């Protein structure tokens, strides 16, 4: 069962937030975000992605470079942020979203 899985910057923040859970509670994610930003670690990651056996590429870019890559099966994330208002949990499909900015 997949509800959502996130890679890139959100995964880095979630990993660092574990260190602060005891002292900061829910604020551990804010603390980890500030830490990662201050240390300059909020950078893009490079992924090779296939959907239904076909690579997701363009002739100029063989890989996906992204700060946010998410696979999910619903409209919202665990925190309630709407990622895809058209996603449907019972359509038999897994949705896939990534953010890309040429300037980053």
Provide the residue ranges of all domains of the chain, joining segments of one domain with +.
4-99
CB 9 within 8 A of CB 68: yes
Condensed to tens digits (0 to 9), the pLDDT of residues 81-94 reads 888 898 888 888 88
Q: How far apart are the first and last CA of the chain?
A: 33
Domain 4-99 belongs to what topology? Answer: Tumour Suppressor Smad4 (2.60.200)
Condensed to tens digits (0 to 9), the pLDDT of residues 5-23 reads 888 888 899 899 999 999 9
What's the pTM? 0.69
Q: Identify the pLDDT of residue 3.
A: 75
């Amino acid at each position: 069962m997949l509800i959502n899985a996130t890679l890139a910057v959100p995964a880095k923040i979630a990993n660092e937030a574990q260190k602060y859970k005891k002292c900061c509670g829910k604020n551990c994610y804010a603390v980890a975000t500030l830490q990662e930003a201050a240390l300059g670690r909020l950078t893009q990651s490079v992924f090779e992605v296939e959907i239904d056996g076909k690579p997701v590429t363009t002739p100029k870019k063989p890989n996906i470079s992204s700060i946010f890559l998410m696979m999910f099966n619903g409209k919202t994330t665990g925190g309630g942020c709407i990622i895809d208002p058209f996603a449907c949990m019972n359509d038999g499909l897994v949705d896939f979203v990534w953010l890309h900015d040429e300037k980053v």
